[in-house]
Amino acid sequence: MAIFDYALFYDFHTLATNPDVGKNFDVEAFTDQVKSCGVDFLTFHARCNQGNAYYNTEIGTRHPSLTYDLIGKLCDSCKRKNIRLSLYFNGHLSEEETLANPQWSDVPLDPAARERNKRSPFYHQVCYNRFGGHLRDMAVELAQNYDFDGFFFDCLGASDCVCPQCVAEMKEKGYDWNDPASVRDFSHFSCDRMCRMLTEAIRKIKPDSLLFFNGRPFEEVTDLESHLECECLPTGGWGYDCLPSCAHYMRTIAGKDKSVLNMTGRFNAWGDFGGLRTAQALEYDMFYGVANGQRPDIGGHYHPRGDLDLPVFDRIREVYDNVRQYDKWSLHAENEVDVAIVYPRYNRHYYPASPLRSVPAAVRMLDELKVQFDLVTDFVSWDKYSLLIIPDDAVFTPSMVEKLQKHIARGGSVIASGSSTLLKNGKEFPVKDWPVKYVGKIPYDPLYFVPAGKFAETLPDMFLSLYADGTQVEASEGAKVEMYCAKPYVNGQWDGLRGNFYLPPEGATKDPFVVQKGKVVYIAGNLFAGYASHAPKELRELIRKIMEELHSTPILKTENMPSFSRAFVQQKDSYRMVHLLAYCPEKRCNAIIAEDRITVIDAKISLKVDGKKINKVYLAPNGKVLPFEIKDGYCNVTVPRFDGYSLLVFEE
């Protein structure tokens, strides 16, 4: 188990043809800069994606132009300056080693697809089963000969290797080597086995070694890892919806004993040596992470010569100094939550990849509504949540059904949509006393709905588009239909003569759209997929109104906060904090960036106190005291102004 305060992650991927690796590397100047940023944990490359090592090795190959033991110098310097050091190995990519040892290369199931991507570092991939022993031997050699703290193994996703060794074992274990999905399942098995082999070998030498396996599903290797790292560069393809999904999810896996590092980059894209993101962009990433239980970790590409690039350190120091002034309150604080988005373990890693993008849309919607929530799978208990939100396409397992039934039995509330809670290939909702009965896929394209009833108060009185499809259902006995679906005159399709593109609604149908039974509200449409598609405010308003009934006393209420602002509640010792963020990523040409701090005036904050006495409310770090009022179980306070970020402290 490992707890960190501030981290840096330095890439050092260096082509074998580079002529002057390490020429200007001044290890003391480098670690002095690291230390000046207040960093207590550093990750640096011992062996890069190209397959080059930067230390003396008899098993691997030191970079041909490196004339000294760079990693040896770095280990010594970090140890003297009390900087914990993890050394990077790539576990799946190696250009030079596979060129020299073709027997370690994987054999892709689709060679043509690989050939089309020769410029990518992922062109030269290894077979986990044929390369794993070499990787283990390199790690053991390094652990035996150098004094450092741990390993970071990278790129450990599934491949599609069908080499003779893999195919033989697939046949033995019952995998179908002709089926891409089965091949990838076997690759996951092989990679997990390699990770466990590495862990066993390393911890025989260093029992307390730090370990992280990047790309492995967190839940399946949590017993191996000392901490978690969230690799998320919003400008590098991840987008600004990835970090929120991962932050709300990863803290549920880590628990209290493991840090979750928020690894972004000072650059705009991986492989970008000349990019320097603004302080505002980096601090938005860092403050969002801190407000959700993560610790700062900014990545950089180190120049092969060892050039310091002092403006990079200046920028990191500026951002970390800004974050650090709030450490008294926020360092290792815990989030207070009363709602959970429930979703099965999907794609073995990051949730923004879910087919309908329902999860990141649900996360964004709840962020915009300032709801305090976790993203959970069946890995953790659901007992502490008063409301569960189950979006669109959440395929359940029998154990998840059992957990949901227990939640309902103890008086918990539920919002579910689409086909969520169905078992795999299921034809009926398995939860007892569910508001609806399953019929099939909804037959309307596009799908509209008719605002009506108690949840329609803030919706316009007109047919509304869902921008997604859904599930056809019938109301169960004792359930009340609040809204109905509406259909177009004809479905959108080519009918042999016409494209049928302009499709106004014909009218309401008898198919339920919103159905309530007790504390369970079911929405027939894939509402979160619709929000992912076009982000119509009406869909968010519908969820807000449903939540007002099912979840009438949330931890936090806000007024006069724009939708793009964020608010998160944490607790530490006698402090309760509300993190307020106001940044607005926008699309500029082909890029999405956050550059400016946004000013918010007179934000009204109401924190649920449950009878606890509040002695003082103030803004950190300057201690400016604000007047407050306790009324109806909430402590109400107005923040006169904040720019980008503010920390509101309630002291008991």
The answer to which of 140-149, 569-578, 588-597, 623-632 has the lowest mean pLDDT is: 588-597
Q: Is the pLDDT of residue 161 over 70?
A: yes
Judge whether 476 and 440 are in contact, CB under 8 Å: no
303-340 per-position pLDDT tens digit: 999 999 999 999 999 999 999 999 999 999 999 999 99
* 121: region left, alpha or beta (phi > 0 left; psi from -120 to 50 alpha): alpha
The DSSP symbol for 598 reads P
Helix 164-173 and helix 128-145: axis angle, to 10°?
Answer: 110
pLDDT at 354: 59
Q: Does the fold of domain 556-651 match that of domain 7-324?
A: no
* Cβ atoms 263, 10 nearer than 8 A: no
pLDDT at 616: 97
Query: Looking at the domain 556-651, which fold is it?
Result: Immunoglobulin-like (2.60.40)
Q: How far apart are CA 73 and CA 552, in angstroms?
A: 59
Tokens 């109401």 -> residue? 606
Contact, 275 vs 268, CB < 8 A?
yes
- Nearby residues of 394 by Cβ (< 8 Å), 6 or more positions away: 342, 343, 344, 358, 420, 421
Can you give the length of the chain in residues? 652
412-450 pLDDT tens trace: 999 999 999 999 999 999 999 999 999 999 999 999 999
Q: What residues have CB less than 8 Å from 180, skipping those under 6 apart?
A: 109, 110, 160
CATH of region 7-324: 3.20.20.80
Domain boundaries, the chain: 7-324, 337-550, 556-651
* Per-residue confidence (pLDDT) for residue 435, from 0 to 100: 98
Would you place residue 612 in the very low, low, confident or very high pLDDT band (cuts 50, 70, 90)? confident
* pLDDT band per the 50, 70, 90 thresholds, residue 556: very high
574: Cβ contacts below 8 Å, ≥ 6 apart: 651, 652
In tens, the pLDDT along 187-229 reads 999 999 999 999 999 999 999 999 999 999 999 899 999 999 9
pLDDT grade for 351, boundaries at 50, 70 and 90: low
Record the tokens describing residue 429, joined without a space: 């909702």
- The residue-averaged pLDDT of 109-119 equals 89
In tens, the pLDDT along 379-422 reads: 999 999 999 999 999 999 999 999 999 999 999 999 999 999 99
582-610 per-position pLDDT tens digit: 999 998 998 888 999 999 999 999 999 98
pLDDT tens per residue across span 505-533: 999 999 999 999 999 999 999 999 999 99
Instruction: Specify the CATH architecture of the domain 337-550.
Output: 3-Layer(aba) Sandwich (3.40)
Residues 513 and 468 sit within 8 Å (Cβ to Cβ): no
Q: Which helix (H) or strand (E) holds 506?
A: strand 505-517
Q: What is the pTM of this model?
A: 0.96
**b (16+ CB within 10 A) / e for 170-196:** beeeebebeeeeebbbbbbbbbbebbe
Short-list 631, 431, 447, CA closest to 522: 431
User: Comparing C-alpha atoms, which of 419, 406, 368 is closest to residue 568?
Assistant: 368
**Per-residue pLDDT, 214:** 95
Q: Which of 266-275, 341-350, 621-630 has the lowest mean pLDDT?
A: 341-350
Cα(260)–Cα(290) distance, integer angstroms: 10
Using omega within 30 degrees of 0 as the cis cutoff, is the peptide bond preceding 446 cis?
yes
Alpha carbon distance, N-terminus to C-terminus of the chain: 31
